[in-house]
Amino acid sequence: MHDFDFYNPTHIKFGRNTENEIGTILANDQIKKVLITFGLGSIKRTGLLDKVITSLEQSGIEYVEFEGIKPNPIISTANEGKDLAIKEQVEAILAVGGGSVIDSSKAIAAAAKSGIDIYDFYRGIAIETALPLYTILTLSATGSEMNNGFVLTNEKTREKFGTGSIFTSPKVSILNPELTFSVPKDQTAYGAVDTISHAIEPYFTKTNSVMFLEGYIENICFSVTRNVKIALTDPTDYNARAELMWASTMALNGLNKLGAKDFCFPSHMIEHSLSALYDIAHGAGLAIILPAWLKYFRNEKAPQIKQFAKAVFNVDDSQDGIKALENWLTDINAPIRLSDVGIPADDIEKIAENAFRLSSFWGMEKTYNQNRIVEILSLAI
């Protein structure tokens, strides 16, 4: 087992109606004024925003709204949020949404407290302080609710990548599975793909055996592959939504890589170029890259693929395991080829060039040259 350091101080409140506790939580932390950040307005339609505001008002907490964070969030929007947070002198950020909203809010929290332009965090400026961040999760996917990383796109350069520090860990995250009942089928499926992907990237790329970790990851995938089908059939199945929500949190809170040596996230690296260049959903991009990556490494990683295939899909052969993964993706209506989302095969060189440009940021500049990325993408045609 490889050495590791684990520290995750996010407080999770999981269950029905937990969003109504937000006013009390903030009041207990002596917060008097908060910036509520959210996306394109679904929380207005579902009534969640009203519930949050009622809870804040009952605890006498002032609030300012920052609306309009888009999927594949961009730095300039987060900088607008930062300006508003500074102008309004809020003491905390309350993110109500999925990964895009929470990631942007981490950037806002760090930038508002330090006054640093968010572009600079991506130029290597360390994050050494941040306003306290609270989240109310509405989508099971990114795990951002219990880690400190945030991924934004630089809309000028079309580069999508992440940063973070312990200061951008959410202080409290509220997880009510009911808040995901209204998530559309495609986003439900893509969230499941994102979860699986966070879990299996360290699993397949590590260079050592770690029995506990392998079982931990297989368990996430076992649960997600089954529960997403239940949630797609009945979007209001509380238990299935709860299993998906907790699995997505546990898939990227640090536990998913403890003891692993030399692991990396190649599918994420390549996918970020798809969503940065074509603005497709992150989970959709991952569904295309994951099988291609496995096919590329089908010989080198055969024993691990075989173990995964047995544990998650109950098939005995590594080739059948890759096929079972593709079948599962197809079953949940996720794309598995570039053409499924309208990306022409001719673009592969351009995508690989974009991905390779950020490979040193991912620590993969030596193992994933542009050629290798092209070869992997070629298996997704």
- In the complex, the residues that contact its own copies under the rule CB under 8 A are 1-16, 18, 177, 209-212, 215-216, 218-220, 222-223, 226-227, 238-239, 242-243, 246-247, 250, 258-259
C-beta of 230: minimal distance to its own copies in Å? Answer: 10
Q: How far is the CB of 21 from its own copies (least distance, A)?
A: 10
3-class state of residue 319 by DSSP: helix
Whichever of 217 and 351 has its CB closer to its own copies, that residue is 217
| Min dist. Cβ of residue 228 to its own copies (A) | 12
Containing H/E element for 149? strand 149-154
Q: Cα(139)–Cα(98) distance, rounded to whole angstroms?
A: 5
Q: How far is the CB of 250 from its own copies (least distance, A)?
A: 7
Q: How far is the CB of 6 from its own copies (least distance, A)?
A: 4
Q: Which is nearer to its own copies, 15 or 68 (CB)?
A: 15
Per-residue burial over 268-307, b if 16 or more Cβ lie within 10 Å, else e, is bbbbbbbbbbbebbbbbbbbbbbbbbbebbeeebeebbbb
Whole-angstrom distance, CA of residue 169 vs CA of residue 106: 8
CB of 15 to its own copies, least distance (A): 3
Q: What is the DSSP letter of 74?
A: B
The closest of 232, 264, 284 to 364, measured between CA atoms, is 264
258 or 302: whose CB is closer to its own copies? 258
Cβ proximity to its own copies, 242 vs 270, nearer residue: 242
Q: For residue 257, how many C-alpha atoms fall within 13 Å in the half-sphere facing its CB?
A: 20
Residues sharing a CB contact under 8 Å with residue 290, sequence separation 6 or more, in sequence order: 193, 196, 197, 200, 267, 325, 329
To its own copies, the closest distance from the beta carbon of 311 in angstroms equals: 10
Closest CA to 356 of 276, 269, 264, 280: 269
When the beta carbons of 258 and 379 are compared against its own copies, the nearer one is: 258
Nearest-CA neighbor of 252 among 117, 375, 109, 102?
Answer: 102
Task: Name the phi and psi angles at 169, rounded to 5.
Answer: -70, 135
Which residue's CB is nearer to its own copies, number 9 or number 68? 9
What's the rounded Cα separation, in Å, for the pair 73 and 144?
13
- The residue among 90 and 255 lying less far from its own copies, judged by its C-beta, is 255
